[in-house]
Amino acid sequence: MPNLSQLLTSKSSAEYRRVFELCRDISSELDSVDGVYVVGGIVRDLILDRTPGDIDLSVVGNAKTFSQELASRIGAATPDESQFLTFKIRTSGIFSDVSSIDVVTARAESYADSAALPDVSVSSIDDDLKRRDFTVNAMAISLAGSDWGTLVDPKNGFGDVMRKRIKVLHDASFVDDPTRIFRAVRYAVRLGFNLDSRTNELISKSLPNIDRLSGTRVRNEFELVLSEPNRVEMLRMSEEIGLLAAISPGLRIGTKALQVLSDQSEQEVASTELPDLLAITTFGLNEDESKQVVQRFDAPPAWGESITGNAQLAKHVAVLDQPNLAPSEVSDLLRAIPLASISAYILAGPPLPRRDKLVEYVEKIRFIKPEITGDDLLEIGIPQGPIIGQLIDIVRRAKLDGKVSTKQEEIDLAKSRLPGFLTK
């Protein structure tokens, strides 16, 4: 096996190096630890000379004691223990490049049912690598004394990094865990790799298994795609391979929406706010399609609004083409529509007069508010109750249409609209 100690020392930043060296020291001191490896994406990234993400370690032996010792030497809090014999050391505030270190117990996994969470048993580093998603993620580098730098690569991930190829370890990989289809898309685009032909075939066959994932798991994977800098290419690929339709039959991304996202990232003005990205991604879906998507994602309210807001706006937006609409009428029409959907329409909708009205609403109309508050109205003797809100709304609309400009005019208008029985 090749020795990659060079990558651990000269190619890693000081923080990574410090962690690797501490791992070597601790593993030589603890009898309950037989091996410590840096594993997964970080190995792939070190080989590719890309900036790696957080650190994943695999411990053959007692990962709990190991992670506690590592945390204490770094000055971090006691690691959080989670499912599957895994321990998370939080390092933000201590390190700048690394926000956490995940320490797993080297383990084998088996899947009783497609898309279920796996059954886990403690095992060797080879088994730990063979349970993983893709060959390029199934490599480890030893951090233990005499073995320091040795690459463990039972599935020839190194060869696939050289060939720029995303390849599953076995034919049932996407059946065991259909979230790996999203991962395949993300890695292929992010690294500029191709999907190996058998892997591609397996993806096509496994798409129906996406149905077996919970809404939360699909939503998390979709959000990870949206949060990547190369989201445009990832969405395009997801559309091409049928992944979007496998999430929900009506989910698709139109060429206009892709164009908008791509122009924005070229001009470096891309919003990375999730509501904006969701609204553009789902632009053009009709009401039923967007409701189905919301249901499929088991979407929290913020997601739901951004996805259904487009269809809500599309229902009424043609009214904005009418000339001589008063600003208060524009506001009435748009106040309940999420801002993300309005912005998406401005970017991806047709270049009709409505677009100017939408821009005017976003840039100006929505900020126009009366100067008076409920307290001002209470002060002049108007009794508490729904009437206060109604009067403020009348004043707000008058202000929008330029019928009042000073605070006194606002108060006078409110008073003039008081129902007769309240003025006595």
Q: How far is the CB of 53 from ligand CTP (least distance, A)?
A: 4
Q: Could you tell me how many residues make up the chain?
A: 424
Which of 12, 68, 137, 290 is in the footprint of ligand CTP by CB under 6 A? 137
Rounded Cα distance between 123 and 59, Å, is: 10
C-beta of 230 vs 312, nearer to ligand CTP: 230
Burial 319-345 (b: 16+ CB within 10 A, else e): ebeeeebebbbbbebbeebbbbbbbbb
Secondary structure of residue 31 in the 3-state scheme: coil
Chain positions 139 to 178 lying near ligand CTP, rule: CB under 6 A, are 177
Q: How far is the CB of 132 from ligand CTP (least distance, A)?
A: 4
Place of tokens 């840096």: 38
User: Residues near 205 by Cβ (< 8 Å), separated by ≥ 6?
Assistant: 174
Q: Is 109 in the site for ligand CTP (CB under 6 A)?
A: no
Rounded Cα distance between 97 and 406, Å, is: 54
Which of 24, 88, 155, 180 is in the footprint of ligand CTP by CB under 6 A? 180
Tokens standing for residue 358: 């939408």
Q: Is 107 in the site for ligand CTP (CB under 6 A)?
A: no
Q: How far is the CB of 406 from ligand CTP (least distance, A)?
A: 57
Q: How far is the CB of 237 from ligand CTP (least distance, A)?
A: 16
Which of 55, 68, 89, 133 is in the footprint of ligand CTP by CB under 6 A? 133
C-beta of 39 vs 232, nearer to ligand CTP: 39
Of the ranges 63-71, 130-138, 298-306, 394-402, which one interacts with ligand CTP (CB under 6 A)? 130-138
* Paired strand residues for 55: 101
Of the ranges 131-139, 196-204, 299-307, 310-318, which one interacts with ligand CTP (CB under 6 A)? 131-139
Tokens standing for residue 91: 């390092």
E strands along 98-235, which residues?
100-105, 107-110, 119-122, 140-142, 151-152, 165-166, 194-195
For the chain, the distance separating the N- and C-terminal CA atoms, rounded to the nearest angstrom, is: 95
Rounded Cα distance between 361 and 359, Å, is: 5
Which of 58, 150, 179, 238 is in the footprint of ligand CTP by CB under 6 A? 179
Which of 4, 56, 293, 372 is in the footprint of ligand CTP by CB under 6 A? 56
Q: How far is the CB of 293 from ligand CTP (least distance, A)?
A: 23
Rounded Cα distance between 195 and 184, Å, is: 8
Which of 8, 16, 20, 41 is in the footprint of ligand CTP by CB under 6 A? 41
- Site residues (CB under 6 A) for ligand CTP? 40-41, 53, 56, 132-133, 137, 177, 179-180, 183
